[in-house]
Structure 1
Amino acid sequence: MRDTTEPSADRLHFQLLGPVRALADGHHVDLGARQQRAMLAVLLLRGGATVSSDELIDALWGETAPPQALGTVRTYASRLRTLLEPGRAARTPATVLVSVAGGYALRVAPERVDALVFERLLAEASAAHAAGDTATAHASYTAALDLWHGAALAGLSGPYCERQQDRLSEARLAAQEGLFDCALTLGRHAELVPELTSLTAEHPLRERLRAQLVLALYRCGRQVDALAAYAEARRLLVDELGVEPG
């Protein structure tokens, strides 16, 4: 009979769009030290593909890898196996974090990893938007953004995680801009003004957000505010980048 205390892959869920977390049947799993969580994040973002030990060392430390890096990676793998499959009998093969040809792979379905679900929903939203199905695109963008609970891979460092933090943050902004485009098309301009005002303050050189704010203000009948927002956008782009608004 199957041990129901074991959080096998179909009972695990992983969160990367915020602090890195693992949940087994809705309960948080203590993933240990920061670098151990970073290794888990690398494996999860590779979507089940095998990652060699050398790749993991480069991902975690880059050119500053310590002499004992290989042994540390093996220790992390052993600890993660224990955490992810605590009910696994001694000397039985792991089924979640497996060893493959000098490396490791996580046998986890993509729908169990929030970052992979986000990317799928973003692709679906973009396709629907391009096809003119604005309502479906709006719903998919909303579902994608609802997965976020902070900065991606929050608190982690290392060459790989830092690159992924930048990539995922850019994807999140693109999703927000796509959502705003859909909302403007659907006539929801009034509800966008506060969020667009906040985001343009956070990303002052993001031209698409500025254009969306100007349009939302204009459609709300706030022509003076729209002109002021445009003038501010132009000033920043000229002063900081030396370009005129598109």
Structure 2
Amino acid sequence: MEFGILGPVEAWAGGGNVVALGSAKVRCVLAVLLRVPGTPVSREALVDRVWGDRVPGTSVRYKYVGRLRAALEPHGVGLVSRDGGYLLAARAEQVDMHRFRNAVAQGRAALADGSLGAACRFIVDGLAQWRGPAVAGLTGPWAELFRDQLERERRDARVLLARCLLDLDRVEEALDLLAEWLVDYPVDEDVIGLHVLALHRCGRRADALSSYQHAVDRLGRSLGIGPDDRLVQLGRRIRAHDRDHAAAEARLPRSVARLPH
């Protein structure tokens, strides 16, 4: 059996059949337990994360836990009471979140060893675990904080992958991904900078400068701030490169200056 947190909270039995879990509250109980599969979660922590300040009666908690147990146990996954809490008898590798985290950790280790190609493969495998916004459809303070945490991890993995691809000179591949991710992170200066750099390395210098200027405008409108020093320096380097390139062409004989480059 497999479980999904990186998207709608779901469970799949053998053959990929979707298991009917029921309401959002049942799915939230499952998400809380999947965060630490095989480890007891106290009753107090479960209630706080699923219901927040609206503490339910004991019978309500039993009802939702019972519904989840009834959905999972026919597929060989137990939900047991232990140490004053509840334990989901599943392994980390059955959960997409833990597979994602493990793959990214392997990618970082490969990068530390200088294996850029392996690092890319691990991170791509990790990002492939995502099906949409984390714990989609769940509400409440805990779910929102958990979603934000996981989305930050996905963002960091994406940035790391883009940097690895650029270091491997797989510029077109990096550019395609960054153009897509810029929609998700329109004011993220790391993503902006990598997108501008990828355009520049593809020889699209005018597009790089246009992307840079649009980003500066978005930062001003959305956040009321200017670009950070790294982004400013990148813009200056691209402009300086253009000036140097134009000056070099001006010094060439006219017939040479018109050759494609």
TM-score scaled by length of structure 2: 0.81
Task: Tell me the alpha carbon deviations over residues 159-184 of structure 1, each in whole angstroms, 9 at most, x when there is no partner.
Answer: 22211111111111111111111111
Specify the alignment match of 2:68 in structure 1: 80
Do the aligned partners of 1:56 and 1:73 also contact (CA within 8 Å) in 2?
Answer: no
Specify the alignment match of 2:254 in structure 1: none
SS at match of 2:138: coil
Larger helix fraction of residues:
2
Specify the alignment match of 1:214 in structure 2: 196
Change (3 A) 1:140 1:241: farther
- Equivalent position to 1:184, from 161, 166, 180: 166
Do the aligned partners of 2:28 and 2:138 also contact (CA within 8 Å) in 1?
Answer: yes
Cα separation, 2, equivalents of 1:84 and 1:63: 28
- Equivalent position to 2:119, from 122, 127, 137: 137
- Residue type at the aligned position of 1:196: L
Alignment of 1:33-48 (within 5 A): 33-48=23-38
Specify the alignment match of 1:198 in structure 2: 180
Counterpart check, 1:54 vs 2:36: no
Cα separation, 1, equivalents of 2:75 and 2:39: 25
SS at match of 1:49: coil
Specify the alignment match of 1:8 in structure 2: none
Cα separation, 1, equivalents of 2:132 and 2:85: 30
Specify the alignment match of 2:213 in structure 1: 231
* Larger of the two Rg values belongs to structure: 2
Cα separation, 2, equivalents of 1:28 and 1:87: 11
Specify the alignment match of 1:32 in structure 2: 22
Cα separation, 1, equivalents of 2:220 and 2:10: 42
1:227 positional shift: 1.4
Specify the alignment match of 1:17 in structure 2: 6
Specify the alignment match of 1:119 in structure 2: 101
Cα separation, 2, equivalents of 1:168 and 1:201: 18
Cα separation, 2, equivalents of 1:79 and 1:126: 40
Task: Tell me the alpha carbon deviations over residues 95-146 of structure 1, each in whole angstroms, 9 at most, x when there is no partner.
Answer: 6211012210111111101111111111111222233211111001100011
Counterpart check, 1:96 vs 2:78: yes
Specify the alignment match of 2:90 in structure 1: 108
Specify the alignment match of 2:149 in structure 1: 167
- Residue type at the aligned position of 2:219: L
1:238 positional shift: 4.5
Cα separation, 1, equivalents of 2:206 and 2:20: 53
Change (3 A) 1:87 1:163: closer
1:154 positional shift: 0.9
Q: Is there any run of 5+ residues in structure 2 with no aligned partner, and where? A: 231-261
Change (3 A) 1:81 1:201: closer
TM-score scaled by length of structure 1: 0.86
1:87 positional shift: 7.5
Greater relative CO (CA pairs within 8 A, separation 6+): 1
Alignment RMSD:
1.8
Do the aligned partners of 1:62 and 1:159 also contact (CA within 8 Å) in 2?
Answer: yes
Cα separation, 1, equivalents of 2:219 and 2:112: 28
- State the aligned residue count: 227
1:241 positional shift: 4.4
